[in-house]
Amino acid sequence: MHMNHDASAPAADPIGFDQFLAVDIRIGTIVEAEPYPEARKPSVKLVIDFGAVIGRRKSSAQIVANYPLDALVGRQVAAVVNFPPRQIGRFMSEVLTLGFPDAEGEVVLFAPDKRVPDGGRLF
């Protein structure tokens, strides 16, 4: 599934509201961040706490260009929590951490502009 991250790309095909509701996007706090030098593209291994119900989940994210490791722990991020786990090299990524491309195409994390309870669902 290749997605065009280019700002000049047209909007995707229309979907029904029920399809949007099927994608479970939650807010969580990064509790661990470590380098993942073995990944094909420079990446970071994250552990994200989504609160009492969903708990902690792992994610591999290509965010090294904009985020030093020591700036990640404690940061809230949004992630899709209901995709099947995906093998990224030797690491099992359990959630898809969300972001937008900056002018160079590097990831800028998607987060609320003020702190919200972990586990909250995007609507």
Percentage of residues in the chain with pLDDT exceeding 90? 84
Domain residues of the chain, as ranges? 22-109
Confidence band of 77 (pLDDT split at 50, 70, 90): very high
pLDDT score at 7: 81
Superfamily of domain 22-109: Nucleic acid-binding proteins (2.40.50.140)
pLDDT score at 3: 59
The 10s digit of each residue's pLDDT in 13-52 is: 999 999 999 999 999 999 999 999 888 888 999 999 999 9
Mean of pLDDT over the chain = 93
SS3 3: coil
* C-alpha distance from residue 97 to each of 13, 14, 41, 93 (Å): 23, 23, 15, 10
Distance CA 44, CA 100 (A): 16
Q: Which residue, 118, 101, 119, is CA-closest to 110?
A: 101
Q: Are 72 and 47 in contact (CB under 8 A)?
A: no
Q: Are 28 and 50 in contact (CB under 8 A)?
A: yes
Give pTM, 2 decimals.
0.91
Confidence band of 1 (pLDDT split at 50, 70, 90): very low
3-state SS of 13-69 is CCCCHHHHHHCCEEEEEEEEEEEECCCCCCEEEEEEECHHHHCEEEEEECCCCCCCH
Among 6-10, 13-17, 75-79, the range scoring the smallest mean pLDDT is: 6-10
Q: For residue 2, is pLDDT > 60?
A: no
